[in-house]
Chain A
Amino acid sequence: MENNEPKIACFMCNFAFCQTEMRIPSNTSIARVNCIGRIDPVLILEMLEKGADAVMLVGCKPPDCHYIEGNSQAEITVKVLKKLMCLAGLEPERLKLLWYSPIDKKSFSSYTKEYTEEMRKLVLSPIKKAVSESPLMINILAAKNVASEFRLRVLLGREKELTESVNVYGEKIPIEEFNSLLEEIVASEFVQQKIHVLTQTKPLSIKTLSEAVGMKPATVLRQIVNMRRRNMMTLDHIEGTTPFYKALEVK
C-alpha cells in the first residue's frame, strides 16, 4: 500500500487556498505560495528529483489572478518544463497545472484524487530506483541546469513581452515562431547541458559522448564547439588522434 501510493507535491496559490474547504489527502503535501507564478522551474524539477512522483501547480483560473499575470507565467513555466521532461525521459503527465477556486463546484480533494488515480497508472517515478550515476539522473541534472540557465530564463521572462507587444525594433514575434524557437533552444541546451554533466567527472571523447547522448558525432562536435565558445568546455588531452573534452566550472 505504502509503496503503491504516488506522492504528489502540490504548490498552491494562496488565493486558491481556502482552509475550511480543504481536505488534503495524505499522499499530497501542499506548499502555499503567494502566487503560482512564484514557482521557479528548477524547483519543480528538484521536487521530482527528490522523490515526488508528481507535481501539481494550483492557481487561479485566468483572467482572475491577484497579481494580474502570475498564472500566465505559470503556464509558460509548465509548457517549457513538459518539453524538458520529455527530453529527460520522464512522462510529462507527472506535471499538472490545475485552475482552482474555492467556489468551484468540485472540491479540491476530488481533483487530487483524480490526479492520484492517473498517477497510479504511471506507477512510481523511475527516479526512486535510479542510482546517482544512472542516465536518468544525469538527464534530470541536465534538465535542472537548463532550467536555471540564462538563455532559457530570459526567453521565458520575455515571452509575453515579445509575443504580445513589440520589441525595441518594433517587431512582433508570432507565438508559433516563438514556440518553435523555444523548442529548438530547449533541445540544444539540453544536449549541451547533458554533455557538460557527463564530462564533469572525467574527460570523454566525442565517440563516447555521441553514444551517451544518442546523436551523430558531427552534431555532438558542433555542440562542443559552441560550448567551447561559451567557455563551458575545454580540451583535456589527446590520446592518439582522439581528443578528450572536459567540462569547465560554470560560475
Chain B
Amino acid sequence: MASKGTTLLQAGLTMAKNNDTNVKRQLPPCRTACPAHVNVQGYVSLIQKGKFRDAVEIIRKDMPFPAICGRVCFSPCEDACARTNVDQAVAIRALKRLVADIEREQGRVKSKPVPNKSNEKVAIIGAGPAGLTAAYELAKLGYPVTVFERMSELGGMMRYCIPDFRLEKFVVANEIAYIKDLGVEIKTGAEFGKDVTLESLRKEGYKAIFIAIGAQLGMKLNVPGEDLEGVINAVDFLRDVALGKHVDVGDRVAVVGGGNSAIDAARTAKKRGAKEVMILYRRSREEMPALPHEVAEAERDGVKLYFLVAPKQIIGENGKVKAIECLRMRLGEPDESGRRRPIPISFSEHQYEVDTVIPALGQVAEPECIPKELLDMKARVPSMKVDPVTLETETPGVFAGGDIATGPASIIEAVGAGKRAAVSIHLYLTGQDLRSGRDEGIEETTWVKNWDSLSKKERRYEPPSAKPRLSFEEAARYLESIRRKAMFEAFRCLGCGPCAECLANLDLCEGDKAIVDEDLCIGCNVCAVVCPFEAVKKNEDGVAQVNEDLCKGCGICAARCPERAITMKKLTDEQIESLALATAGGK
C-alpha cells in the first residue's frame, strides 16, 4: 500500500509545486470547481485516515445530499483534479458514495432539530435539490422554514426523473429525512400558483420566499405527428414509471435526444420489456451531453445509439405511432454552446418502425406557474428574472433559483443555487447588504496542464454496488477490504489545497488562530516572514495583525516570535507542555 502511493504522491506534489509556488495558498481545484464548493480535500483526507463518518459530516457541512451526489453527480471536481497530471483523477464521487452508503448501512445518527432562533418565517416552494438545500441551510441557521411541494413525495427531479437503477428511492428518502429531522416543516400537495401564491404566503406571515420549482415541462419536438398516441415525453415517462403507473412502451422504442434523461428513458424502457430501444441523436458521440459512463452502461443494457439523425416527422396509423421519419445530419461550424451545429442533409429521409417515441430534448419551466410580474419576457424559454449573484427577483423578499432561473442544469448546480439563496435570505432578513460576505474569493484554481488526459478512462476504482451474501466472518473481511481499497484510493489525493481544508482533527484545526499581544509586539516582522499563508502583517502602527480568514493555525509564528508576543487561541505552549509531560515528566 505504501511505496507506490507515496512515490506517486510526491511526484505529483513536486509537479504541483513547481508549477506554482503559491499552490498551497489557494483553495484546491476540486473545491473551486464544485458549484456547491464542497470541501472535497477535507473528506478525502479523512477517508485516508479511515474516518468515514467524519468524512460524511464534512460533506454535510456544505450540502445535504452525499449519497445522491455520490451516485448521479457529474463530478466537475474530478475534471479539475490535479492528480490528472500524474495519472488519473481521484475517484472523488465513488468515495463519496461509499462513505455515505456505509454511514446509511450502519445507521445514521439522527440530526437534532435546531431550535428556532428567529421569528422570521421562510417559505420555500419546490422540494427539489435547490429548495431542499436552501431549507437545510436556513434550518441550520435557526429559521422556521416551510417547504411547499406539489407532488406527494419530496425530492423533485431527484425522485421522479432519475430511475431507480441509478438512484434508489430509499437513498433519496434517507437524505431528505435528515433535512426533515432538522425541524423543517413540509407541506405536500400544495401547488404554486393554485394552492399557494405569493400573496397568500405573505398573508400567512412569511417574510422571505424562495421559488425553486424547477423546469418540469419536457420540451417538444416540433415536428408533425407529435400528438399521436405513443409519443410520451421523457420527463412524463420517467415520472409515470416512478409513480408506479402502468406504462406500455410496446416492442420498439425511439428516444430522441442525447442527454442524461434520454439515456435514463432508454434504459428504463429497455428494463420495462421493450425489445429494441434506440437513441436518436442529431450530433455525434463526442457532443453528447450525457455522462460517458452512463452511455456505456446503456450500451451494455442493449440500447442502440444512432448518431447524426434528427426526426422530421412521426408517422401514425389509426391515431397511433407507426414509424418515425428521420433526416441524416452532418456537423457544421460550432454554435454558441461550443458544439458543432448539425446541418440536415437533403433527401436523406429514412424511417424507423417504432411503437413509442420518447422525446428527451430537455425541460423548460411551466410558464403558468410563474407569477406574471416575475416572468422574464425577453428570454427564449419561460424563466424568471433574477440577479445571478444574490438570486433576488425584482420583488423584495422573493428569491428564485435552480432550474427555474438558470434553465435545466444538474443537481449539484441546484445545490449551489440553494446555498446562495440561503445566504441571500439570511442577509435579507437580518437587514444586511445582499452582496456582502459572499464567497467572491473563490476563483477557479486549476493546474491541469494536459487536457487530453481528461478523456475519461475506465475508472480503476469502483465502489461496491451490489451486496454479496456472506457469512459473518466473510462479511467482516469484505468490509475491511472495501475500507482499505477506499483508503488507498483516497491516498492518491495530492492534497493541493491549504492545510485546514482537511480538518483532520476538528477540535484542533478548526478555529485555532494566532493572537498577537500588542503590548509585547515590537514590529520586527519575523511573523510575517515565517507565515506560509501571509496571514500576519504589520499594520501602520508597526504592530502585527492576524487576518483570521487566512490564518490556518499552524503556529509557526508563535514558535518564532522573538518577543513571544504571539500565542495560539486553542493550543498554548503551556498546554503542549502539559501534554508532553503526561508520562515523560517527573524528576
Contact between chains at A50 and B581 (CB < 8 Å): yes
Contact between chains at B24 and A156 (CB < 8 Å): no
Q: Which of A20, A29, A40, A51 contacts B582 (CB 8 A)?
A: A29
**Interface residue range, chain B:** 35 or more
Contact between chains at B579 and A31 (CB < 8 Å): yes
Q: Which of A15, A35, A42, A46 contacts B556 (CB 8 A)?
A: A35
Contacts of A33 in B (CB 8 A): 555, 571, 576
Q: How far is the CB of B378 from chain A (nearest CB, A)?
A: 49
How long is the Cα–Cα vector from A104 to B7 in the complex, in angstroms? 11
Contacts of B512 in A (CB 8 A): 34
Contact between chains at B49 and A19 (CB < 8 Å): yes
The DSSP consensus for interface residues of chain A is: mixed
Nearest chain B residue, comparing its CB with the CB of A158 = B529
> Which chain B residues numbered 529 to 582 have a C-beta less than 8 Å away from chain A?
529-530, 532-533, 552-556, 558-564, 568, 571, 573, 576-577, 579-582
The DSSP consensus for interface residues of chain B is: helix
Contacts of B348 in A (CB 8 A): none
How long is the Cα–Cα vector from A153 to B563 in the complex, in angstroms? 9
> Which chain B residues numbered 83 to 141 have a C-beta less than 8 Å away from chain A?
none
How long is the Cα–Cα vector from A151 to B552 in the complex, in angstroms? 27
Interface centre among B48, B509, B527, B579 (most CB of A within 10 A): B579
Contacts of B277 in A (CB 8 A): none
Q: How far is the CB of B311 from chain A (nearest CB, A)?
A: 56
Contact between chains at B583 and A29 (CB < 8 Å): yes
Interface centre among B5, B9, B527, B532 (most CB of A within 10 A): B532
How long is the Cα–Cα vector from A93 to B547 in the complex, in angstroms? 39
Contacts of A227 in B (CB 8 A): none
> Which chain A residues numbered 14 to 63 have a C-beta less than 8 Å away from chain B?
14-15, 18-20, 26-35, 37-43, 46-47, 50-53, 63
How long is the Cα–Cα vector from A31 to B529 in the complex, in angstroms? 26
How long is the Cα–Cα vector from A249 to B431 in the complex, in angstroms? 56
Nearest chain A residue, comparing its CB with the CB of B6 = A103
Q: Which of A29, A40, A128 contacts B587 (CB 8 A)?
A: A128
Nearest chain B residue, comparing its CB with the CB of A6 = B584
- Does residue A8 face the partner (Cβ distance < 8 Å to B)? yes
Contacts of A51 in B (CB 8 A): 581, 584-587
Contact between chains at A40 and B559 (CB < 8 Å): yes
Contact between chains at B571 and A104 (CB < 8 Å): no
- Does residue B259 face the partner (Cβ distance < 8 Å to A)? no
Contacts of B379 in A (CB 8 A): none
Contacts of A35 in B (CB 8 A): 499, 554-556
Nearest chain B residue, comparing its CB with the CB of A77 = B559
Interface digits, A61-97 against B, CB 8 Å rule (1 contact, 0 not)? Answer: 0011011111001000100000000000000000000
How long is the Cα–Cα vector from A95 to B512 in the complex, in angstroms? 27
Instruction: With A40-B559, A70-B554, A154-B524 as known contacts, state yes or no: A47 contacts B581, CB within 8 Å.
Output: yes
- Does residue A169 face the partner (Cβ distance < 8 Å to B)? no
Contact between chains at A38 and B6 (CB < 8 Å): no
How long is the Cα–Cα vector from A156 to B2 in the complex, in angstroms? 34
Contacts of A229 in B (CB 8 A): none
How long is the Cα–Cα vector from A69 to B556 in the complex, in angstroms? 9
Contact between chains at B573 and A9 (CB < 8 Å): no
- Does residue A101 face the partner (Cβ distance < 8 Å to B)? yes
Nearest chain A residue, comparing its CB with the CB of B499 = A66
Contact between chains at B508 and A32 (CB < 8 Å): yes
Could you say which of B10-18, B142-150, B235-243, B386-394 contacts chain A? B10-18
Q: How far is the CB of B54 from chain A (nearest CB, A)?
A: 11
Contact between chains at B2 and A50 (CB < 8 Å): no
- Does residue B505 face the partner (Cβ distance < 8 Å to A)? yes
Contact between chains at A153 and B576 (CB < 8 Å): no
Instruction: With A103-B491, A150-B563, A158-B529 as known contacts, state yes or no: A52 contacts B555, CB within 8 Å.
Output: no
Contact between chains at A34 and B508 (CB < 8 Å): yes
Q: How far is the CB of B19 from chain A (nearest CB, A)?
A: 13
Contacts of B48 in A (CB 8 A): 102
Q: Give the A-B contact count at a CB cut-off of 8 A.
A: 178
Contact between chains at A14 and B555 (CB < 8 Å): no
Contacts of B524 in A (CB 8 A): 150, 154
Instruction: With A34-B512, A69-B532, A157-B530 as known contacts, state yes or no: A103 contacts B5, CB within 8 Å.
Output: yes
Q: How far is the CB of A67 from chain B (nearest CB, A)?
A: 4
How long is the Cα–Cα vector from A76 to B525 in the complex, in angstroms? 18
- Does residue B502 face the partner (Cβ distance < 8 Å to A)? yes
Contacts of B553 in A (CB 8 A): 34
- Does residue B418 face the partner (Cβ distance < 8 Å to A)? no
Contacts of B577 in A (CB 8 A): 31, 43, 46-47, 50
Q: How far is the CB of B165 from chain A (nearest CB, A)?
A: 35
- Does residue A236 face the partner (Cβ distance < 8 Å to B)? no
Contacts of A68 in B (CB 8 A): 24-25, 532-533
Contacts of A104 in B (CB 8 A): 2
Interface centre among A10, A127, A151, A154 (most CB of B within 10 A): A154
Contact between chains at A66 and B558 (CB < 8 Å): no
Contact between chains at A161 and B583 (CB < 8 Å): no
> Which chain A residues numbered 136 to 195 have a C-beta less than 8 Å away from chain B?
148-151, 153-154, 156-158, 160-161
Contact between chains at A63 and B583 (CB < 8 Å): no
- Does residue A121 face the partner (Cβ distance < 8 Å to B)? no
Contact between chains at A66 and B50 (CB < 8 Å): no
Q: How far is the CB of B464 from chain A (nearest CB, A)?
A: 21
Q: How far is the CB of B384 from chain A (nearest CB, A)?
A: 44
Nearest chain A residue, comparing its CB with the CB of B487 = A103
Q: How far is the CB of B31 from chain A (nearest CB, A)?
A: 15
- Does residue A7 face the partner (Cβ distance < 8 Å to B)? yes
Q: How far is the CB of B214 from chain A (nearest CB, A)?
A: 41
Contact between chains at B13 and A15 (CB < 8 Å): no
- Does residue B222 face the partner (Cβ distance < 8 Å to A)? no
How long is the Cα–Cα vector from A42 to B50 in the complex, in angstroms? 35
- Does residue B56 face the partner (Cβ distance < 8 Å to A)? no
Contact between chains at B559 and A9 (CB < 8 Å): no
Q: Which of A29, A70, A148 contacts B580 (CB 8 A)?
A: A29
- Does residue B504 face the partner (Cβ distance < 8 Å to A)? yes
Nearest chain A residue, comparing its CB with the CB of B45 = A15
> Which chain B residues numbered 479 to 522 have a C-beta less than 8 Å away from chain A?
491, 495, 498-499, 502, 504-505, 508-509, 512
Contacts of B555 in A (CB 8 A): 33-35, 37-38
- Does residue B3 face the partner (Cβ distance < 8 Å to A)? yes
Interface centre among B505, B553, B580 (most CB of A within 10 A): B580
- Does residue A245 face the partner (Cβ distance < 8 Å to B)? no
Contacts of A105 in B (CB 8 A): 2-3
Contacts of A108 in B (CB 8 A): none
Contacts of B475 in A (CB 8 A): none
How long is the Cα–Cα vector from A73 to B530 in the complex, in angstroms? 8
Contact between chains at A64 and B10 (CB < 8 Å): yes
* List of 4 A-B pairs having minimum Cβ-Cβ separation, nearest first: A38-B555, A66-B499, A157-B526, A31-B579
Other A-B pairs beyond A14-B508, A50-B581, A128-B587, 9, CB < 8 Å: A7-B586, A14-B505, A31-B576, A35-B556, A38-B558, A51-B587, A148-B564, A154-B526, A157-B561
CB<8 Å pairs between A and B, sample of 30: A7-B586, A9-B584, A11-B580, A14-B508, A15-B499, A19-B49, A27-B584, A28-B583, A29-B581, A31-B579, A31-B582, A32-B505, A33-B576, A37-B555, A40-B559, A40-B564, A41-B559, A42-B573, A50-B577, A52-B585, A53-B584, A63-B13, A66-B498, A66-B502, A66-B554, A68-B25, A69-B532, A153-B526, A153-B561, A157-B526
Interface residues of A (CB under 8 A from B): 7-11, 14-15, 18-20, 26-35, 37-43, 46-47, 50-53, 63-64, 66-70, 73, 77, 101-105, 127-128, 148-151, 153-154, 156-158, 160-161
